[in-house]
Chains A and B, each alone.
Chain A
Amino acid sequence: GAGVSQTPSNKVTEKGKYVELRCDPISGHTALYWYRQSLGQGPEFLIYFQGTGAADDSGLPNDRFFAVRPEGSVSTLKIQRTERGDSAVYLCASSASPVREQYFGPGTRLTVT
C-alpha cells in the first residue's frame, strides 16, 4: 500500500518568508509525528498528533513553528518568518497507534537563503 508522502520534496525560500510543508500519512494511521533532521544529525522530534489534536508539541523550537491536522489525516507544518537556521530536512511519520512502530516519509528539504 501507499506509504507516507510529503510535499514538496524540496523547498527553497528567502529569509523572513512563510512556508507550509504537507504530510499525507498512511491511510488509517491515527498517530502522526513531525521531526527535523539537520545535516549529520539524527532526527529530532517536533510535534505529535493523536487524531486531530496535538498530544505533544514539546519539540517545537519556538512560536514561529506551528502544525495542524484538522481532519485527523493530512497534516501541515507551518513556519513563519523563516531563518537560515531553519534549513533542514523535515520528516513526517505515522503509526497505527501511539505504541506501534512509526513509518517515515521521504522528507522535505527546506533551504532558507
Chain B
Amino acid sequence: DAKTTQPTSMDCAEGRAANLPCNHSTISGNEYVYWYRQIHSQGPQYIIHGLKNNETNEMASLIITEDRKSSTLILPHATLRDTAVYYCIVRDNAGNMLTFGGGTRLMVKP
C-alpha cells in the first residue's frame, strides 16, 4: 500500500469545520483513500472513502485533489465528541488489510 503523511495533531474550535489533510503522493490508480477515526479506548470507526471523486456522507466530506496526491477530510461542524485520532489510509481494490500510520490527533475545544 502507498504510504500517507498526516500532521501529528490539530486543534479545532467546537462548531467550526475541521479540515484534516493527508498526503499520498505515491498513490496508484487502483488505490482508494479511506478515513477511519479512533476515539479513546474504542475500536477504529469507518468514516468515508473515495477513489477520485469527492464524497459526502452523514459524517463527513472527502475532497480528493485532481492528481489524487492529497486529500482532505472535512467535519463540517466539529463537536467535542469528534475528538479522536484520524487515520488516512490508501488501500488497493483487491481489499485485504488496512495499513494504519500514525494518524492525526484532533482535539476539539470548547
Contacts and interface: CB of A to CB of B under 8 A. Distances in A.
B4 to A, nearest CB: 11
A106 B46 contact: no
A99 B34 contact: no
Nearest to A6: B43
Contacts of A101: 34, 46, 49
Interface string A91-104: 10101011111111
A12 interface: no
Contacts, number: 54
A106 B43 contact: yes
Given A98-B94, A99-B94, A44 B43 contact: no
Contacts of A79: none
A42 interface: yes
Interface of B: 34, 42-46, 49, 85, 87, 93-103
Interface of A: 4, 31, 33, 35, 41-45, 48, 55-56, 59, 91, 93, 95, 97-107
